[in-house]
Structure 1
Amino acid sequence: MTTVDAAAYAAAPAAPRGRIFNVVRLQYVNRQTFIWVPLMVLGASWLISLMIYGILHSAGIPNVNETGNGDGSVIGGGAQAPMWYYLAVGIQALSLTFPFSQAVSLTRREFFLGSLLAAAISAAGMAFVFVGLGLIEQVTNGYGLNGYFSYLGWVWAAGPVGAWFAYFTTIMLFFVLGFWFAIVYKQYGAAWLTAIIIAIALLLVGLIALFTWQQMWPEVGAWLATTGIVGLTLWEVLLGAALGLGCFLTLRRVPA
């Protein structure tokens, strides 16, 4: 991380709101974490997706995924790449700046709220990029290749605003999860973090097994269709809030 002038932060305003914004400034000292690397991941994923769409189109395979947007369009999963990267952003936001924040007498609460605000600014910008790409894809019929990177029919069912909200919330959920992983690692070490990740994976596999054995997948599909993208996003908000609370409670015990 780039060296920061400690005196500037020591002389920061005493008001809590001003100190929270100081944390945002601290996080954005290294702009690669929140701006340039996410954009590089997004750009590379988008370009690779377009290359694949072009290869399929030139090979005469225009309708690879008949379930994509319901019209035989080609749907790639490349849009997930920058979202998953926010796991790493969350990890870096804690591990690279937390020790320095304590050295300049920022409280854990201020650091936590400021880090969330820094992530929200980045996530909002990334969500706008996704929506912009989706609008372009609609106008150009998938870049003239019937291939879609950002415009997924079920995500856009509530329009551009609903799509923005879904992208923003998903990115923030990944960030909070990565932030929590970093806190657990710092407080309890690699063994405990690995054990928690394994436990989460086993829980997911257990749920898949339960739904399969009980033949509940039609009900699950019906619930997803009934809930819709806005409802699912609100569930994401609740999950993110629970994770955020866990982050803050754990962070209070982490040594500087």
Structure 2
Amino acid sequence: MNRTAGVIRTFYTDKTNCFFVPYMILLSSFLVNLVVSFFMDEGYYTGGISSIHIFMFVLGILFSVQSFPLVLGFGARRKDFFAGTVLAFLMLSVVNSLLLVVLGAIEQASGGWGQELHFFHLPYMNDGNVLVQFWVQLTLMTHLFFSGFVIAAVYRRFGRIGVWLLSLLLFVAGTVGVLLLTYYEAWTKVWNWFDGYTAGEAASLLWVLTLLYLGIAYLLFRRTTV
């Protein structure tokens, strides 16, 4: 447990990437969109909130690639690194998700910051009560971080060639999927399938992939040399 706690402390030692950079990116995106909203005659909807989600994906790669040899050098085991990283990010995700939900509530109560700006509170994403909104944000944060986490695990296990092969595999799979959906004119069916779920329900389904990422990352890190 002490070694796991040490990994958690190592995670939060990098306050720049954990807090400063994502919050500055989010703030910058918000201010730019707020200025733009002054020139709009009607409600302005923006996806700028995704900036913090995308950075969580980047953080999943950066921390795992940079800290893995350091943590093991201090005597931690591979399973300590895995458990510590997972717990540290879950705690960070809880904080970030609460912050986004609170900002969304303020935005809604203030009429979109007085400009009908929809930055933190968006249709579909913020449908449901506060707990559902928190669940959606928490799910997105963890899913993207652990997506980056498993990519870092591939890099640590197989090096750059492994990452390139993984990227190629995903590209080919995505291309084939798009071609098949287009050929069989199945886009409408796919859209209707997704449309049948609320944001909270879709978030719950997304945990299947997230747990799969975690399982793969665990197996790869256990067999990784420093």
Give the TM-score of the pair, scaled to structure 2: 0.93
2:151 is equivalent to residue 181 of structure 1:
yes
* 1:44-66 Cα distance to aligned partner (Å, 9 max, x none): 121122122223x2xx3x2xxxx
User: If you compute each CA radius of gyration, which structure gives the higher value, 1 or 2?
Assistant: 1
Task: Pick which of 90-99 and 217-226 moved more.
Answer: 217-226
Q: How many angstroms apart in 1 are the aligned matches of 2:179 and 2:46?
A: 27
Q: 1:179 corresponds to which letter in structure 2? A: F
* 1:229-248 Cα distance to aligned partner (Å, 9 max, x none): 12211121110000000001
Equivalences, count: 226
Contact kept? 1:120, 1:172, Cα under 8 Å: yes
2:66 is equivalent to residue 108 of structure 1:
no
Partner of residue 220, structure 1: 190
- Segments of 5+ residues of structure 1 without an aligned counterpart are 1-15, 63-72
- Superposed, which structure 2 residues align to 1:40-59 within 5 Å? 40-55=24-39, 57=40
Q: How many angstroms apart in 2 are the aligned matches of 1:145 and 1:195?
A: 47
Measure how far apart 1:76 and its partner are. 0.7
Q: Structure 1 residues 105, 81: closer, same or farther in 2, change over 3 A? A: same
Contact kept? 2:156, 2:221, Cα under 8 Å: no
Aligned sequence identity (%): 22
Q: How many angstroms apart in 2 are the aligned matches of 1:31 and 1:134?
A: 24
Contact kept? 2:44, 2:116, Cα under 8 Å: yes
Q: How many angstroms apart in 1 are the aligned matches of 2:93 and 2:109?
A: 24
- Select 2:52's aligned residue among 82, 88, 96: 82
- Select 1:197's aligned residue among 151, 154, 167: 167
Q: How many angstroms apart in 2 are the aligned matches of 1:146 and 1:215?
A: 37
Contact kept? 2:78, 2:221, Cα under 8 Å: yes
Task: Pick which of 37-46 and 106-115 moved more.
Answer: 37-46
Partner of residue 22, structure 1: 6
Partner of residue 9, structure 1: none
Measure how far apart 1:176 and its partner are. 0.8
Measure how far apart 1:110 and its partner are. 1.1
Q: 2:28 corresponds to which letter in structure 1? A: A
Q: How many angstroms apart in 1 are the aligned matches of 2:173 and 2:137?
A: 25
Q: How many angstroms apart in 2 are the aligned matches of 1:238 and 1:186?
A: 24
Give the secondary structure class of the aligned counterpart of 1:84: helix
Give the secondary structure class of the aligned counterpart of 1:106: coil
Contact kept? 1:34, 1:119, Cα under 8 Å: no
* 1:148-186 Cα distance to aligned partner (Å, 9 max, x none): 011112112222211111111111111111112122122
Partner of residue 18, structure 2: 34
Q: How many angstroms apart in 2 are the aligned matches of 1:150 and 1:206?
A: 35
* 1:120-175 Cα distance to aligned partner (Å, 9 max, x none): 11111111121112111211221122220111121122222111111111111111
Give the TM-score of the pair, scaled to structure 1: 0.83
Kindly indicate whether structure 1 or structure 2 has the higher relative contact order, using CA contacts under 8 Å at least 6 residues apart.
2
Q: 2:76 corresponds to which letter in structure 1? A: L
Task: Pick which of 228-237 and 205-214 moved more.
Answer: 205-214
- After TM superposition, where is structure 1 displaced by more than 3 Å over at least 4 residues in a row? none
- Superposed, which structure 2 residues align to 1:58-73 within 5 Å? 60=41, 62=42, 73=43
Partner of residue 3, structure 1: none
- Segments of 5+ residues of structure 2 without an aligned counterpart are none
Q: How many angstroms apart in 1 are the aligned matches of 2:134 and 2:24?
A: 20
Partner of residue 242, structure 1: 212
Q: Structure 1 residues 74, 206: closer, same or farther in 2, change over 3 A? A: farther
